[in-house]
Structure 1
């Protein structure tokens, strides 16, 4: 391959850019995962993770992907033939419901248009109609990575409570944790699913479940088969600072450093930074004369922005030009949005100048692709970034 100067702009919505501090932390020599030094590391890590999830309960860490953490959430709380309510908000919500069906669960899939988040009203309607209380869990993607739409989890919990339905609430935060305000305990979430490669600023390889007392109680009677994903052995071993199998030691070094960085900046400041960068990006998109895919301003994502292309334009052509000319990767449209959108990731280890460079590259790529845009879009974004 031809060598290119400068750094590659990885502006997909995950995996995100890994900070130098985290890379250096991961390069430390591996230690004995059954020794006292590792036990101290684990104890500190698990305590530091809880505020990021907004919980005082256990957070289970798996060597695995977010997909594995999806499965862990299901198999620890449900039994074969149980009925679960999934809400279609995009590609990843669709994949999660397909997994649930593959595990032997009966899936009630609430259809969606991929431009809106999960409807609290639709969830309440389905639960209220379930007079026999056969629905055991409601599964929602907090921030749909394929669309740039953030569901209102607190409102969904309120809707569930209004029906007095006992279903568990399972929430995917894979592209929102550490980037968008999230409150596991306060919002009454029973299992929060997350991954390492987005707001936590790590490479892929760690999956997480934050678990409520209600979910722990459900795990004692759940009958879906599980072994590797079983919470109980991990929680028990974690009490002593260990894991029941070999953990991803060097990724845990990186996680410890990433958590220190989030703590040093402050979570409210992290969320405000992401909100501001998202607003600047949306200003650019509208300034260009294009359309943000998310159709409800209450549900704008602060992790990424999906840009809807005109009917006569191919989003993948734009992405190809931007990659070849400016060495920048943008997210592709997934599923039924393939070729219709591109996605700009603005999450994780990210600052104003990086966003300015990203949006300049997008603007030039659109122009080179022959898309009619107003070049004032970049200026509209910079106005947000200049503001105090």
Structure 2
């Protein structure tokens, strides 16, 4: 028996992943394991491999690895590139930094466009950089779709148009680990060659699965690439997935959960899921601005529908504030990463969440600001309530 005092009610997990897991997904995973070479598993395999394509909006293959999203990063690079290849990247935040570090470790050559971490990737700068590459030597453009550390979204459709305007043949790769099922993502329509994601964000599952959507152009590139790969080889996965199998023991329990997660998303309506994320994000930002605090994303064009990063006033430490909120109100807020460490906290509005959950989180933050002595104005929660009330008013009026 624990000696810790029980805390009534649920823990508010307001970090941008792992996100809270719906009860139906938990129940789906609480099943006896199947023979992963038997007919019942094959049905499950075919179902999830088909269903996940609808979330990426692709007719092509989506590979499912038993790994974190970092594994999908490695698969994207090693299957399409060769030692010494040049890769254009944009440093939009901590996860772009980490992806670049992997590029370095694999013996590739990164060319990095810097930002102040307060916007997404600027398509015009990407186009200008590619136009200077007269020899067409850059083999890939890699950008983070939704930068979880900064709360800034990259407009992938604009980047696609920039690559086309530069008439450049580089592969277009994106990390949509926290973008999938939260932000608009159209793998086929936007000409994405490699799109990766993970299970623990918009898919409302535990960590442990990564996803890699690949185009025919990317598959063709993999036939010429010479970086070493084994576990993450696309060839093996494509061959086995064609019949609903995996080349090694799959994460069966997580695949049960994925099957149910896909069902939940389509029961709500995929467009409704994306609109909900936009609406909740806008409500959170309304609260932050009403408090007189500053949202890290400095251009609304790049606002993330998944997470809002809030800058702390000078002289106030974000980690101390997060600890106070956790200890007092049993709520976890996202930490500031890298150059934002101690200077910002993050409010997730991602995955299985709704208006009342977000309002509860904002209430805890507003009380925390008061207790921590952080300079702010009253009324942030009220501003969010007003926004959300107005956003649903047409629907309720129609129902009446």
TM class by shorter chain equals over 0.9
CA deviation after TM superposition for structure 1 residue 2, in Å:
2.7
How many Å separate the matches in 2 of 1:317 and 1:224?
44
Look up the match of 1:254: 257
Look up the match of 1:265: 268
Cα deviation digits, residues 161-213 of structure 1 (max 9, x gap): 00110000000000110111110011110000100000000000001100000
Local SS of the residue matching 2:308 = strand
Instruction: Indicate whether 1:166 and 2:165 are aligned.
Output: no
CA deviation after TM superposition for structure 1 residue 6, in Å:
1.0
Look up the match of 2:389: 386
1:235 corresponds, among 238, 251, 256, to 238
How many Å separate the matches in 1 of 2:211 and 2:69?
7
Q: How does 1:1-388 map to 2 (within 5 A)?
A: 1-387=4-390, 388=392
CA deviation after TM superposition for structure 1 residue 97, in Å:
0.5
Local SS of the residue matching 1:382 = helix
How many Å separate the matches in 2 of 1:68 and 1:313?
36
Local SS of the residue matching 2:334 = strand
Local SS of the residue matching 2:64 = strand
Cα deviation digits, residues 24-67 of structure 1 (max 9, x gap): 00001100000000000011111111110010000000000001
How many Å separate the matches in 1 of 2:145 and 2:311?
21
CA deviation after TM superposition for structure 1 residue 318, in Å:
0.9
Residues 313, 375 of structure 2: 8 Å contact kept: no
Give the total of aligned pairs: 388
How many Å separate the matches in 2 of 1:290 and 1:342?
12
Look up the match of 2:395: none
Local SS of the residue matching 2:161 = helix
Residues 289, 380 of structure 2: 8 Å contact kept: yes
Local SS of the residue matching 2:35 = coil
How many Å separate the matches in 2 of 1:345 and 1:181?
17
Local SS of the residue matching 1:80 = coil
How many Å separate the matches in 2 of 1:312 and 1:80?
46
Unaligned runs of 5+ in 2: 393-400
CA deviation after TM superposition for structure 1 residue 373, in Å:
1.2
How many Å separate the matches in 1 of 2:237 and 2:122?
34
Cα deviation digits, residues 123-165 of structure 1 (max 9, x gap): 1111100011110000000000000000011000100000110
Residues 87, 110 of structure 2: 8 Å contact kept: yes
Cα deviation digits, residues 192-238 of structure 1 (max 9, x gap): 01000000000000011000000000011110100000111111101
Local SS of the residue matching 1:220 = helix
CA deviation after TM superposition for structure 1 residue 311, in Å:
1.2
How many Å separate the matches in 2 of 1:27 and 1:228?
27
Unaligned runs of 5+ in 1: none
**TM-score using structure 2 length:** 0.96
